[in-house]
Amino acid sequence: MVELPGRGRTCVIDRPGPPGAPTVILLHALATTAALSWYPSLDALSEHYRVIAFDQRWHGRGIRCDKFSLQDCADDVIAVADELGVDRFTVVGYSMGGAIAQLVWRRHRQRVEGLVLAATARNFRGKLTERLWFTMTQTTMTRWGDGVRSRADRVHATLADEPLALSATDPRIAPWAMSEFRSTSAWTMLAAINEIGRFDSSAWIRRVDVPTSVIVMTRDRFIPTRRQRRLAGSIPGAMVYDVDGNHAGLVLGAPDFVPVLVDACRSVSRRSAARRAA
């Protein structure tokens, strides 16, 4: 657990990597935790990078606050980097984490060396059915949010300070994963979905000026593949990497996803190094 001055406490994973390695900060998906989203990827990434991941606000052991905001989540990334003595880094975001990664660049671009955006989009609220869904979510949160949130506080109070460190082949992985998933409350999901519904980077994403890789999950129904490709097409010079998987592919399809993630990160690192040399 790490105390972020003026913000709160969150659970941070910090893998050192090789001496002098660049840093990647991993931002997890909605309704998961840093450990649950990224445990299949940590070993492979830490062969090349210092790897940092942490629980987002109201997820797992993340910061407790009155209001969930993607902008606050983006600022938390800088607070974690400051606390760990990291100046510049590549931001890797999956799904909701991809939206937050875009905001990290926009709000703190002097700290960002590169972006890896996976299974994410410029916006999430286009079709009529999607607009109706987000409207229902907001109504539900307004009507029942306080009661659900109080139960979430009680669940949070019972969590151990650190998640278990398990390998993907450990027989305890399934019950551990379910426990990590249940550590994020229904209130959080409603609040985060409500915020995600308001996110829209289409007006400024073309100004991204750091090396970027976009990972597209080709069988994704949660965030349609066409939106992931539109994001990639909006970022100058973005490299596109396809993974034959659905929205849960970062964990359930890890054998296919992890090598592509490493390649996407290393592509960003090579382009960042070339820029510095130039």
Are 74 and 103 spatial neighbours (Cβ–Cβ below 8 Å)? yes
Q: Which percentage of the chain shows pLDDT scores above 90?
A: 66
* Residue environment code for 99-118, b if the CB has 16+ CB neighbours within 10 A, otherwise e: bbbbbbbbeeeebbbbbbbb
Angle CA(60)–CA(125)–CA(251) in degrees, nearest 5? 40
> What pLDDT sits at residue 141?
52
**Span 137-159, average pLDDT:** 53
Residue 37, phi then psi, degrees to nearest 5? -70, -40
| Per-residue tokens: 171 | 């027989």
Angle CA(52)–CA(214)–CA(77) in degrees, nearest 5? 30
Q: How confident is the model at residue 83 (pLDDT cuts 50, 70, 90)?
A: very high
Q: Which percentage of the chain shows pLDDT scores above 70?
A: 78
> What pLDDT sits at residue 2?
95
Q: How confident is the model at residue 218 (pLDDT cuts 50, 70, 90)?
A: very high
Domain residue spans of the chain: 2-123+201-277
Cβ-Cβ contacts under 8 Å for 250 (sequence gap 6 or more): 29, 37, 38, 40, 41, 94, 118, 119, 257, 261
| Per-residue tokens: 147 | 């009661």
* Top-level class of domain 2-123+201-277: alpha beta
Are 237 and 207 spatial neighbours (Cβ–Cβ below 8 Å)? no
Higher pLDDT among residues 168 and 220, named by residue: 220
* Residue environment code for 169-202, b if the CB has 16+ CB neighbours within 10 A, otherwise e: eeeeeeebbebbeebbbbbbbbbbbbbbbebebe
